[in-house]
Chain A
Amino acid sequence: MNQPAMSSPAATQGPIKRISRQERVSVVWTLVLVAIAFIVLFPVLWVGSFMFRPDSAMFARPTEWLFEPTLVHFRYVIENGFIGYLGTSFALASISTFLVVLLGTPAAYAFARFKLRFRDDLFLFVLATRMAPPICMVIPFYMIFSSIGLIDTYFGLTLAYLTFNLSFYIWVMSSFCRDLPVALEEVAILEGHSRFAVFLRVVLPLLRSAIVATGMLCFIFAWNEFMFAFMLGGQQVKTLPVAVPELITTQGVRWGPMAIVGTLSLVPVMIAVFLLQKHIVRGLTMGAVKG
């Protein structure tokens, strides 16, 4: 597989070149890595096979490697409104991430650059919203929300998600902002741009990768979130993680639909990560290597 190209002069002049040591080593390494990847990915693949496996073949002994695929689980998932829950999850995670980026980026920049009075105290206050375990927050949230009618609304859940995501986002982004060279902003100021124009024209383009990477993490946090969604939502606004336990029914656990919902919940995050890969890798390594 790693033979030199036939058109190269070396191949036409002499006998077929032997595979070099270096090439052999790289082949062995590739095989080792494929094996490791297979071991790691096997449970995912196995769950994938559950999607099409009839109930009778689910836990058969001995294991049935070959079976007649069925789409009955998909019908169950669609008929029981799981696509709607997926939409709810997606909407909630998107809206809250959008708000986090919109509010958090200027806040992080301000914390990093401006010499505000009580800046450090304010920063600690922002971080402190993340210090308590979520279970401590959810009870007060429930009591406040139920008295002002925010229980089971998009607005209420978005607000709750902001508490843990916004502080995380501001904390990470302000350290990115601090690493930006001040001189760039000073040049822009001397060109006559206002402070806000400097933020839009100079700072934001430089932060793009960091925003994508950090925003992606916030999206994943919101996407995977269970406790707030369970306590503060659940009827009108039901997210996928909250809906999954419903598949554990009195008639037994519905493994097939569960495999489908589980796989489904991977898809949006995976698509986003593949599309934004370049930014995420750059964003996560930003600051590590100064260019």
Chain B
Amino acid sequence: MKASSVQKTSVQPGKGLRLEGVSKCFDEVQALSDVSFSAEPGEIIAICGPSGAGKSTLGRLISGLDIPDSGSVQLGGALLSELPPQQRRVAHMFESLALYPTLDVFSNVASPLRAPSHRGMFNRAQISDQVESILHMMDIAHLSKRRPSELSGGQKQRVALCRTLVQSPTLFILDEPIGHLDAKLRHRLRGEISRRQRRLNQVTLWLTPDTLEGMAVADRVIMLIDGKIQQVGTSREVYAAPANTTIARLLGDPAMNLIDVWLKKESDGLKVLCNGERMQVSEPFLSRLKATGQLHVTLGFPPLHTGLNETSAAAKLRGEIYTIEPFGKYTLVTAEVNGVYVKAKMPSGFQSSVGSHVQIGIPVDHVLLFDQKSGELLNGTFPQSHNNEVFEPNTIHSEASM
């Protein structure tokens, strides 16, 4: 879409969202800097990042509650900065939920449909039908006569979700939509919501600090860290090749192992040291390390593929078992190498004791190499085989209950 074709008057369905160079400052603090991305109709975009990364600010700029210092937001062929928030018709679910305390659950959910943003779109019976059906989907139909003050945190969040999803807006913004729900409900709704949103013709922005959740629901994931977009890609792309170590630390559960190594030249050849501990490496892996042209490299590899006491491993490191956490389905073992911790997902039958020595087998086929100083992924160092890389959202185990 060219800027010249942008209309200033109304938002049309069937056209996507486009941000260009959006920046925002709050009292000297740069909340967002030069954020640009675009999204197609019907696409779900997860915006992931730690708290304070600027996710909510980004949502507020798009819905018009804040005004960007610079840059433009286009939606459905209209330049949003020309429109007051009332005319943008964005369905925005707030992290603070913001349910009307004086209205009951039914009226809260129905309120956007009765409001000017949906004027003339539905008659009374249609509104009632739509509200009933979305309340059913969220399992809160029996609460429809209650006031928000009579609901639990998770119930309130579902009411706010209903109120957002029931709309026929130009864009959906869901700010931590399922964060306060219990694990079981969260897993069910994650699927239900993404299924529902995909059938619609609007862009959905799903803001969440939980990268796994974002990856599970979204067509594309945007990693927003410190107000800057650090990576955009599908879940698979981001998981397979995180752009830097900051993103790598947010991926997977448990997160990717990151260890700093030092290539030291000695009389009998090149040695690889990790915090003073020598790493046994096979020749092909050593040449891969050499190819980076750097002496200080960070290795990243998933706990899923990390082995313990495997004689066949192409790279090995001696360590000591630090903790053993049996989850039933698998056992999570943390090993310590001179103050560096490496996690390994072992079969549930794994037997050992804390303090005993182990050989950590580093899966050279799955190792990513990062520049130790900048943290950036080193280009041209992708491992060859990614075919057995499995992204498993159902391995999420550390669910905090409400």
Contacts and interface: CB of A to CB of B under 8 A. Distances in A.
B366 interface: no
B89 A184 contact: no
B100 A192 contact: no
A191 B116 contact: yes
A205 B65 contact: no
Given A189-B65, A190-B63, A206-B101, A291 B149 contact: yes
A191 B98 contact: no
Interface residues of B, number: 26
Contacts of A191: 111-112, 115-117
A49 B98 CA distance: 55
B190 to A, nearest CB: 24
Interface in B83-123: 85-92, 94, 96-98, 100-102, 111-112, 115-119
A202 B98 CA distance: 11
Contact of B94 (A183, A197, A205, A291): A183
Nearest to B65: A186
Given A183-B96, A206-B101, A206-B102, A192 B149 contact: no
Contacts of A186: 65, 92, 94, 98
B85 A189 contact: yes
A187 interface: yes
A181 interface: yes
A191 B85 CA distance: 9
A187 B64 CA distance: 11
Interface in B264-293: none
A166 to B, nearest CB: 27
B98 A193 contact: no
A235 interface: no
Contact of B86 (A183, A194, A205, A291): A194
A184 B98 contact: yes
A189 to B, nearest CB: 5
B100 A184 contact: yes
Chain A to chain B: the 8 pairs with minimum beta-carbon distance, closest first? A192-B117, A192-B116, A191-B115, A183-B98, A205-B102, A183-B96, A187-B98, A191-B112
20 contacts: A183-B98, A184-B98, A184-B101, A186-B98, A188-B115, A189-B86, A190-B64, A190-B65, A190-B85, A190-B86, A190-B88, A191-B111, A191-B112, A191-B116, A192-B115, A192-B119, A193-B115, A197-B116, A202-B100, A291-B149
